[in-house]
Chain A
Amino acid sequence: MAELMPPAGVQLAAVAWLRWRIFVNGLRTGKSGNRSAGGIVLAIGLRMLLWPIFAVWILGPVALSGYVGWSAIANDQPMWLLALMTGIGFLWQFIGVSGSNIAAAMPTFDPASLLRFPLPFGRYLLLRLFLGLLTPSTVVGCLALLAAAIGVGVARPALLPFAFAGFGLYALANVFCARMIGIWLDRVLARRRGREIFGGLFAIVVVSFQFVQFGRVRHVHVGHGGHVPGSQQQSWIIATAIRSAHAMHWLPPGFAADSVLHSASVAAVAGNLVLLALWTALFLAGFGVRLHRQFLGEYLSDSLAPAARRSTTARQARVRPLPQQQAMRSRFSLLPALLRKEWLTLRSNSGQLMGLLTPPIFVWIVSRGSFGSHPDYLLSGAVAYAILGPMSAAYNVFGPEGPGVQLYLLAPLRLRDVVLAKNIASVLILAAEAALAWVIAVSASKAAIAPATQAATALWLIFVLLANLTVGTVRSIQAPRKFAAGQSNQMRSAPTGRTSALLAVALVLGSLLLQIPVIRIGRHLHEPWLGVWVFGALALAGAAGYAMLLMNVDAMMLRNRDVLERELCGV
């Protein structure tokens, strides 16, 4: 039988070609057909506006890594190189786990669908290692390690080959480690209970990390009771890291750093590289073990048992007669029914619910810092931050419905009611987030926030909500995207398309920046209520725009029903 297997080169080339064609076809057309000229202009404009900001996020760590790499050698500070390797490795894995990798938003395919072809496990493993590798964490991590190697090389050229070898292997170890964590995480997140536990743990880790960063100690003991000069200002996490540095020498960051630092001895370099290679192999094995289970046909998702058990209950409920009067009345109470449906959807997604807790906690943490000394900007900044994350859901309100959107198009109901119910649900969530942030900001502010500032912020919030709901609803109808919540970043699609996500960020941040000139001009004119007038007018304009949208939304949905059907009900 084995001699019937297709050659490896043919299959690997075929998959590479598949990935290329998917990329090319993604450029040629959107899934819903040719993009309009306006859509292309919008997409390009948003990217030109926001990508410089994102570029800073990439270039910043890369430049810093280069500098630290150079400085560690030039200033003879070996500990810095170890700290750099640890930091890069930690962020590489953390970003991957947190699901910030935008690769999930790229038009691609589920690699597990290749399982139906005659692929031996080795080839499948190879494909799974390299498909979808171009994530921000991988790109930034590799560039940062490259920059660090170049920094080391600039400081002492003789170390360059060792830096390339050690850091290159360390990059591979991180790639394999990220894959291993991702695939085991998929296993955990396949079940709802696992998602809930992981969501809770992740929120605790994120919040704890912030506390750790802000925690200060009065004394740091090093070795046998010694003190670090100026230790009163040092975070205890750094002190702990210094104390535990010796343990790090047995982990991949330590071997990567030591392969450069111990370059005087060939045996030491070889030993470090071999041990780093062993770690790399261990990560690969951890990935391979789980992948092999999938290869053999493991079923990851939830047990079917609850569905089977529910059928009896559903049947019992079905036989209850519905009085004619009640049936007629229900036609006029669509909004509560639709709102209830939104609530049930939210309630069943505990991960999303827990995610709503994170922004207010961050607002609280940030408000305690120096930002709390700027009462004019603290409130609006806090509110903007709190609503920024949940806002993206308003840009794809039909996405979680999937093929269920057909019910809205088929049922004798006004689509306006559906949109209104979804927007009310969004507003309730956003208002709750904003209210929490508001209370936190007001109570944490080091100076009282003037009533005029609070009134202006309230009107600004109304404007931002209405503007985002208007634009978000239009995007939800014109550029919907099928979205399954509660899956890990290797399995899920992004909650919105990239253009919609950028639009939400641009609207919230853009309107936030508008506050700066308004406050400055108000001060210059000695008119503290100027913001109220400006944002009051904008809120009115936003209300008018939203009302116009509601009046036209039925026609708009019917005009775009082919897009909705194709995107949400298609392949």
Chain B
Amino acid sequence: MAPAIETAALTRRFGDFTAVRDVALRVEPGQFYGFLGPNGAGKSTTIKMLTGLLAPTSGTIRILGEDLTANSPALKQQIGVVPEGMALFGRLTAREYLRFVGRMYGLDRDTAGQRTEELLDFMSLAGEDRKLVTDFSHGMQKKLALAAAVIHGPRVLFLDEPFEGVDAVAAGTLKAMLQRMTARGVTIFLTSHVLEIVERLCTHIGIIHRGELVAQGSIEELRERAHGGAGELNGLRPLEEIFLEIVGTERDGSEAAHPPEELSWLS
């Protein structure tokens, strides 16, 4: 079976700045893939390219075995996205928005209506009938964006910081839903800065740093790589330590870059 997501030498330049360089991703169907990296590492740029919203400068992208550039509209039917800025239509109600999205993905009127009601209920948004989306809290908007991303039953789901601003109860429900989806064969490609979430949900990890994919594999493989496979306790190390070990030595936040006397006025 073809990989759900596969890129080769994926590169994106903005002027003379290279945001993503020669990235070679491989995500198998049904994987819950966490895409990690410091701020500005190129995560969102990569997601935009993988979802067809941004053209790569060079390289190829294959989704479900098909070339994204050649089959972009048809492949978009197979994917769901929670983009960085959520891209909601603020002057609709949640019900109107979900129905619109359902219709845009080709659902018939009854199915779109039925799934809308189910998702509103699931996301605890059913009681917000009179409110426009623009008046929703950030967390409510995230839940709505996630509902819109799944209403058509996508085979690949791209989530850019999906839990940001979502309350703990809702986050738990959403995580359970996402895990259920992967169990049914849906591939999920997720970015998050909360490494605990990634560690709990994801089976495979890719780490991007300064536009380059510096590590990729299962969490166990990354643990081995980070510590050269040595040590009995290596298997218990949290993802945060592994992440910092892989990218931290090069980061501006290292001890050498910031001597203790810096910001000494902070009480």
Q: Which residues of A contact B (CB under 8 A)?
A: 1-2, 4-7, 10-11, 13-15, 17-18, 21-22, 25-26, 29, 31, 33, 107, 109, 113-121, 296-299, 303-305, 308, 315, 319, 321-322, 324, 327, 566, 570-571
CA distance A109 to B104 in the complex (A): 16
Residues of A within 8 A of B52 (CB): 115-116, 297
**Number of contacting residues on B, CB 8 A?**
49
Query: Nearest Cβ in chain A — how far from B67, in angstroms?
Result: 10
Query: Which has the most chain B C-beta neighbours within 10 Å: A22, A107, A304?
Result: A304
Cα A296 to Cα B71 with chains together (Å): 11
CB of B106 within 8 A of CB of A26, answer no
- Is there an interface contact between B14 and A31, defined as CB atoms closer than 8 Å? no
Residues facing A in B12-66 (CB within 8 A) are 14-17, 19, 48-49, 51-55, 66
B74 CB contacts on chain A under 8 angstroms: 1-2, 4-5, 118
The answer to whether A25 touches B92, judged by C-beta atoms less than 8 angstroms apart, is yes
Q: How far is the CB of A323 from chain B (nearest CB, A)?
A: 10
B residues in contact with A115, CB < 8 Å: 52-53
- Chain A residue contacts of B141, Cβ below 8 A: 571
Cross-chain contact B73 with A118 (CB below 8 angstroms): yes
Sort A-B residue pairs by CB-CB distance and give the 7 closest, nearest first. A6-B106, A303-B15, A297-B55, A1-B74, A571-B90, A14-B103, A305-B17
Asked whether any CB of chain A lies closer than 8 Å to the CB of B124, the reply is no
In the complex formed, the residue of B with least CB distance to A323 is: B265
Q: Which residues of B lie under 8 Å from residue A119 when comparing CB positions? A: 73, 76, 104
In the bound assembly, the distance between CA atoms of A297 and B89 in angstroms comes to 20
A119 to B81: give the CA distance in the assembly, Å. 15
Contact partners of B49 in chain A: CB under 8 A: 297
* A11 touching B96 in the complex, CB below 8 Å, given contacts A33-B135, A113-B87, A305-B17: no
Is B218 interfacial (CB-CB < 8 Å)? no
A311 to B: closest C-beta gap in Å: 9
- Whether A305 touches B133, Cβ cut-off 8 Å, given contacts A1-B71, A299-B54, is no
A10 touches B132 (CB 8 A): no
For the complex formed, measure the closest distance between the CB of B248 and the CB atoms of chain A, giving whole angstroms. Answer: 18
Nearest neighbor of B106 in chain A, beta-carbon distance: A6
- Cβ-based interface call for B181 (8 A): no
Q: Which listed residue, A4, A11, A13, touches B78 by the CB 8 Å rule?
A: A4
Check if B14 sits within 8 Å of A304, measured CB to CB.
yes
Within 8 Å by CB of A11, from B69, B90, B104, lies B104
| B76: chain A residues within 8 A (beta carbon) | 116-119
Candidates A31, A114, A117; contact of B105 at CB < 8 Å: A117
Q: Indicate whether A18 sits within 8 Å of B53 (C-beta atoms), given known contacts A116-B76, A571-B90.
A: no
Is the C-beta of B83 less than 8 angstroms from some C-beta in chain A?
yes
Note all chain A residues with C-beta closer than 8 A to B104: 6, 11, 14-15, 114, 117-119
Report the minimal beta-carbon distance from A331 to chain B, rounded to whole angstroms.
15
Q: How far is the CA of A362 from the CA of B203 in the complex (A)?
A: 67
Instruction: Give 14 pairs: A residue, B residue, CB < 8 Å, sorted on A.
Output: A5-B106, A6-B104, A11-B106, A21-B92, A21-B100, A25-B96, A26-B91, A31-B134, A116-B83, A116-B87, A118-B104, A305-B14, A315-B252, A571-B134
B93 at the interface (CB under 8 A from A): yes
| B contact residues around A18 at 8 Å (CB) | 89, 92, 100
B75 with A1: CB separation less than 8 A: yes
B232 contacts chain A at the CB level, 8 A cutoff = no
Partner of B77, one of A4, A25, A319, A571: A4
With both chains docked as a complex, state the minimum distance between the C-beta of A391 and any C-beta of chain B, in angstroms: 28
Contacts of B77 in A (CB 8 A): 1, 4-6, 118
Q: A6-B106, A566-B134, A571-B134 are in contact. Are A116 and B81 (CB under 8 A)?
A: yes
Which residues of B sit under 8 angstroms from A114, Cβ to Cβ? 104
Q: Which of B14, B15, B54, B264 contacts A297 (CB 8 A)?
A: B54
8 Å CB contact of B15 from A7, A11, A304: A304
**A15 neighbours in B (Cβ, 8 Å):** 104
Asked if B262 is at the interface of the complex by the 8 Å CB criterion, the answer is: yes
* Distance of B16 from chain A, by nearest CB (Å): 5
Cα separation A489 to B141 with both chains bound (whole Å): 28
User: Min CB distance, A103 to chain B, in Å?
Assistant: 15
Q: How many A-B residue pairs have CB under 8 A?
A: 132
State A321–B262 Cα separation when bound (angstroms).
8
Determine the distance from Cα of A327 to Cα of B266 in the docked complex, in whole angstroms. Answer: 13
Question: Which chain B residues lie closer than 8 Å to A298 at the CB level?
Answer: 55
Residue pair A319, B262 in contact (C-beta under 8 Å): yes
> B88 an interface residue at 8 Å Cβ cutoff?
yes
**Residues of chain A contacted by B17 (CB below 8 angstroms):** 303-305, 308
* CB of B126, distance to nearest CB on chain A (Å): 19
Q: Does B86 touch A at the CB level, under 8 Å? A: yes
User: Chain B residues near A303 (CB, 8 Å)?
Assistant: 14-17
Assess whether A304 is in contact with B73, with CB atoms less than 8 Å apart: no
Given A25-B132, A33-B135, A121-B73, list of 12 further CB < 8 A pairs?
Answer: A4-B77, A5-B106, A17-B100, A21-B91, A21-B100, A117-B76, A304-B14, A308-B17, A315-B252, A566-B134, A571-B133, A571-B136
Distance in Å from the Cβ of A8 to the closest Cβ of chain B?
Answer: 10
Which residues does chain B contribute within 8 Å of A5, judged by CB atoms?
73-74, 77, 106
B26 CB to nearest chain A CB (Å):
21
Contact B89 A120 (CB under 8 A): no
A324 contacts which chain B residues (CB < 8 A)? Answer: 265
Chain B neighbourhood of A109, CB < 8 A: 89, 91
Q: Which residues of B contact A322 (CB under 8 A)?
A: 265
CA distance A118 to B136 in the complex (A): 27
Task: Give A6 to B91 CA distance when docked, in angstroms.
Answer: 25
Residue of B19, B49, B103 ringed by the most chain A CB atoms within 10 A: B103
A17 to B71, CA, bound (A): 27
CB-CB < 8 A to B133: which residues of A? Answer: 571
Report the minimum CB–CB distance from A165 to chain B (whole Å): 35
What is the distance, in angstroms, from A540's C-beta to the closest C-beta of chain B?
42
Bound together, the chains give a CA A1 to CA B14 distance in angstroms of 32
Complex CA distance for A566 and B78, rounded to whole angstroms: 34
Q: Are A296 and B55 CB-contacts (below 8 A) given A107-B91, A303-B17?
A: yes
Report B98-113 CB contacts with A as 1/0, cut-off 8 Å. 0011011110000000
- Per the 8 Å Cβ criterion, residues 160-176 of B in contact with A are none
Residues of B contacting A17 in the complex (Cβ-Cβ under 8 angstroms)? 100, 103
Question: How many Å lie between the Cα of A116 and that of B100 in the bound state?
Answer: 13
In the bound complex, residues from chain B placing their C-beta under 8 Å from that of A571 are 86, 88, 90, 133-134, 136, 141
Task: Please give the distance in Å from B84's CB to the nearest CB on chain A.
Answer: 12
**How far apart are the CA atoms of A117 and B100 in the complex, in Å?**
11
B89, chain A: closest CB distance, angstroms:
5
> Could you say which of A31, A113, A327 contacts B91, with CB atoms under 8 Å apart?
A31
Interface residues of B in 220-267 (CB under 8 A from A): 252, 262, 264-265
